[in-house]
Amino acid sequence: MFKALLDFVFPTACAVCDVPPSPLCEGCAPAFDVAQSWLGTTPVWYATEYSEPISRIFRAYKDQNRTALVTYLAPGLKLAVAKGALVLGECWICLPPRNRVNFKKRGFDPVSRLITGSDKPVLGQLPSNTLRFHRQVRDQRRLNKPGRESNILGSMTAIPGSKRVLLVDDVMTTGSTLKECTRALSAAGYEVAGICVLAKRNL
CATH, residue 93: 3.40.50
- Please indicate, yes or no, if residue 114 is contained in any of the structural domains: yes
Question: Which residues constitute the domain of residue 120?
Answer: 34-49+74-200
CA 200 – CA 41 distance, rounded (Å): 17
- Given this model, what pLDDT does residue 26 score? 86
CA 86 – CA 21 distance, rounded (Å): 37
- Please indicate, yes or no, if residue 57 is contained in any of the structural domains: no
Domain count, the chain: 1
- Please indicate, yes or no, if residue 18 is contained in any of the structural domains: no
CA 185 – CA 77 distance, rounded (Å): 22
- Given this model, what pLDDT does residue 99 score? 78
- Please indicate, yes or no, if residue 65 is contained in any of the structural domains: no
Question: Which backbone phi and psi does 148 adopt, to 5 degrees?
Answer: -65, -45
Given a contact cutoff of 8 angstroms between Cβ atoms, the answer to whether 192 and 182 are in contact is: yes
- Please indicate, yes or no, if residue 101 is contained in any of the structural domains: yes
Q: What is the pLDDT of residues 45-80, one digit of tens each?
A: 999 999 989 999 999 999 888 999 999 999 999 999
For residue 41, count other CB atoms closer than 10 A to its CB. 7
SS3 198: strand
Amino acid identity of 182? T
- Given this model, what pLDDT does residue 117 score? 73
- Please indicate, yes or no, if residue 99 is contained in any of the structural domains: yes
Amino acid identity of 1? M
Q: Which of 82-94 are b and which e, b meaning 16 or more Cβ less than 10 Å from the residue's Cβ?
A: ebbbeebeebebb
- Please indicate, yes or no, if residue 79 is contained in any of the structural domains: yes
Given a contact cutoff of 8 angstroms between Cβ atoms, the answer to whether 23 and 16 are in contact is: no
- Please indicate, yes or no, if residue 64 is contained in any of the structural domains: no
Sites in the chain below the pLDDT cut of 70: 1-11, 118, 203
- Given this model, what pLDDT does residue 74 score? 95
